[in-house]
Structure 1
Amino acid sequence: MLTIPVNSLQSTQTPHSGYHWDGSNRRFFEGWYYRVTLPDCGQTFAFMYSIEDPIGGKSHSGGAAQVLGPDDEYVCRTFPDVTKFWASQDVLALGHWGKTHLNIEPIYLLPKEFTRHVSEGYQATAKLNQGFIQDPATGFYCRWQYEIQPIYGWGNQNSLQQSTAGWLSFLQIFEPGWQILMAHGLASGWIDWNGKIYQFQNAPAYGEKNWGGAFPQKWFWLNCNSFDGEPDLALTAGGGRRGVLWWMESVAMVGLHYQGKFYEFVPWNSKVTWDIQPWGRWQMTATNLEYEVELTGTTHLPGTPLRAPTANGLQFCCRDTMQGKLNLELRQIRGKYPLVILQAHSYLCGLEIGGGSWHNSWQSS
């Protein structure tokens, strides 16, 4: 039985790459998000892995794998046995075995060994994403295996990588925590979507995670690293209402990686404003002392409901499309007339709203 250690620490590893559960029985979830975009056919695959109350024996204990595929189609599989989940506390590495004939503690397996021994489940690291899930009711399935070459973590290239939520995210003050693991990378491999096989080489890839014992009331998210004529550009932006000790606060941020440089607009260095419709239009502006950025995401598609961990377990509580339109403008502030550094467009932007009370537009600063 072959096993190998998970990939060693590298310059693109961000804070919070490891698993956060401390072994206690408090309410806890951790979720991971891997995405690969295929510009040639205009499709995107998003893989969402989660574990809740891993101590086991609780009403919400268990894990799941969800895949949002071509044309925003969707497949999900739950894995109730928490003892078949594993994750590293030091690096990005996790997996959940569903169906297997192995009678050992779950661990990372060489890809060929995983295929041979685990007939349903997944494993993922900073450099690999592999798995198979099938909807037992419909027979609809997804099988995938691809390798990842990280390019941007979260911060300037060849520098120490940053925590997405700042240094306070190392304390249990903000919940849930949020970390972009890989703002941009290149993926090579294949995905079998219910019999249709997508093969790809150096396709734009992305990864993030969240964790904690509390859940945001409401949130929005924009993400894209497949722009027309701009192969070295990656955007992640989002905001939400989350708990801070005993009160709720609304926060938002914009992060851009472009030509080796990281442009960060966060509450402690920038003014961030937003106007998010209940569905269809996402507008954000952010300004710091040196730069300003303006984002407009739109979609005419209905989007797909997705499950997310909540206080009441995994529930349909967010809506996504991976085929949103995005206009982005980045400007350098110079006196009266800012200098436009970048104008970029995409038809393959991920757009999401989540949580409750989306009856009206959400405007805030």
Structure 2
Amino acid sequence: MSDLHHYLQPPHSGYHDGGWLPHQPYFEGWYFRLTLPNQGASFAFMYSIENQAGAMPGGAAQILGPGHTYLCRTFPQIHNFWAWRHGLGLGHWGKAREAQVPRYLKPAVFAQQVLEGYQVTAHGHQGQLADPGSQAVVRWQYGVQPLDTCGDRGKLPQATAGWLSLLPIFEPGWQVLMATGRATGWIDWYGQRYTFINAPAYAEKNWGGAFPQKWFWLHCNAFSQQPDLALTAGGGRRQVLGWHESVGMVGLHHQGRFYEFAPWNAQIHWQIQPWGHWRMQAENADYAIALEASCWEPGTWVRVPTAQGLQRWCRDTTQGHIHLKLRHRHTDQLILAATSDLGGLEVGGAPWDTPWQV
């Protein structure tokens, strides 16, 4: 765990493991995204673990690859999952050459010993998974240099959902672990090898007893002509002490500065179609931001933890078009405008029969 001391990790980086609800259904999930702008490609790695009290205890690894390709593998042996409690570090083994206690291994040792599984920390990510349908084996290994977590660069990281997220009152919790990072390494994806140096990387996590009833999400840290810009935004109907509320958030990191639009400091509105079009507007005391995103491809249905186990309840793309404008609120002076065709866009939960407007 020596890499924990290289930089300050944000709150919730460590594994909660049910925390205050050890005998209740509980999940923890992680999302790691790697974007390759020069190749117009993106990879999203989604890992989850559900505890013994859940309806379907166990773990899963999902990867959303270029061209909406998708791979999912489950890990029913929950005892083969490991995670650090005081920093970002987790892994799950499916098959290993020798019987041993699952734990973090040096990359060369992992590659030799673990036949199927993954491991990830704040500074590295590797794994290999077999596709039983095609018999292909997908492999990856890359190092990461974190730049921005959640908050201004170089300052103490903050909780994405505010200090109240440290208390067990929200379902689920949400934390941006790394808004901006630089990844160097390789991915072998169904016979094609992708190599990269200083590619944009991102990480976040969720935890709790259930996903929101309904939610949407936007992400991008690979904007044209803006190499030091990262956007994370979303909204959902979440549970708070037994009742539900609709909340949204926009976080923008630009050249080390964090622009936050959250329920405690801003007015936030959105108009989200069931699929294909996302719009958000937010204003705080000093700034105003406008987001517009679209995707005319069908996207990919991915699995999320539910009371009935993993279900295809979430629709994703990593090829969305995003356009944003940030202005000074009082002078209307434009601070920046940016676009990308490598945006991450998502809708999940239900119902999505009509547009959602708040």
Selected match of 1:120 from 107, 113, 116: 116
2: CA distance between counterparts of 1:302 and 1:178? Answer: 26
Could you tell me how far 1:181 is from its partner in structure 2?
Answer: 0.1
Selected match of 2:338 from 341, 344, 355: 344
Q: Corresponding residue for 2:35? A: 37
Could you tell me how far 1:260 is from its partner in structure 2?
Answer: 1.2
1: CA distance between counterparts of 2:246 and 2:104? Answer: 38
2:3 aligned counterpart, secondary structure? coil
Q: Corresponding residue for 1:268? A: 264
**1:359 corresponds to 2:330:** no
Could you tell me how far 1:215 is from its partner in structure 2?
Answer: 2.3
Selected match of 1:304 from 289, 300, 307: 300
Q: Corresponding residue for 2:325? A: 329
Deviations 1:228-266 (A, max 9, x none): 000000000000001000210000000000011100000
2: CA distance between counterparts of 1:113 and 1:10? Answer: 22
Residue type of the partner of 1:25?
A: H
Selected match of 1:279 from 263, 275, 278: 275
Residue type of the partner of 1:231?
A: P
Q: Corresponding residue for 2:93? A: 97
| 8 Å CA contact retained: 1:11, 1:159 | no
Deviations 1:92-150 (A, max 9, x none): 00000001133222110001100111000000000011001122133244211010000
| 8 Å CA contact retained: 2:210, 2:305 | no
1: CA distance between counterparts of 2:58 and 2:2? Answer: 24
Could you tell me how far 1:10 is from its partner in structure 2?
Answer: 4.1
Corresponding residue pairs, total: 356
Deviations 1:163-214 (A, max 9, x none): 0000010000001000000001000000000110000000000000000113
Could you tell me how far 1:356 is from its partner in structure 2?
Answer: 1.0
1:7 aligned counterpart, secondary structure? helix
Give me the TM-score of the superposition, normalised by structure 1.
Answer: 0.95
**1:80 corresponds to 2:44:** no
Higher mean C-alpha deviation, range 127-136 or range 16-25: 16-25
2: CA distance between counterparts of 1:342 and 1:90? Answer: 37
2: CA distance between counterparts of 1:142 and 1:66? Answer: 12
Q: Which aligned pairs between 1:104-183 and structure 2 lie closer than 5 A?
A: 104-183=100-179
| 8 Å CA contact retained: 2:303, 2:311 | yes
| 8 Å CA contact retained: 1:75, 1:141 | no
Give me the TM-score of the superposition, normalised by structure 2.
Answer: 0.97
Residue type of the partner of 2:210?
A: A
| 8 Å CA contact retained: 2:215, 2:235 | yes
2: CA distance between counterparts of 1:203 and 1:20? Answer: 29
**1:28 corresponds to 2:13:** no
Residue type of the partner of 2:22?
A: S
Unpaired segments of 5 or more residues in structure 2?
A: none
Higher mean C-alpha deviation, range 227-236 or range 10-19: 10-19
Report the aligned-residue RMSD: 1.2
Selected match of 1:47 from 37, 45, 48: 45
1: CA distance between counterparts of 2:197 and 2:321? Answer: 24
2: CA distance between counterparts of 1:310 and 1:152? Answer: 31
Deviations 1:324-365 (A, max 9, x none): 00110000122xx4110000010100000000111110001x
Deviations 1:298-345 (A, max 9, x none): 1111100000111211110001110100110000122xx411000001
Unpaired segments of 5 or more residues in structure 1?
A: none
2: CA distance between counterparts of 1:6 and 1:218? Answer: 39
- Percent of aligned pairs with the same residue? 56
Residue type of the partner of 1:357?
A: P
Residue type of the partner of 2:357?
A: Q
Residue type of the partner of 2:176?
A: I
Q: Corresponding residue for 1:293? A: 289
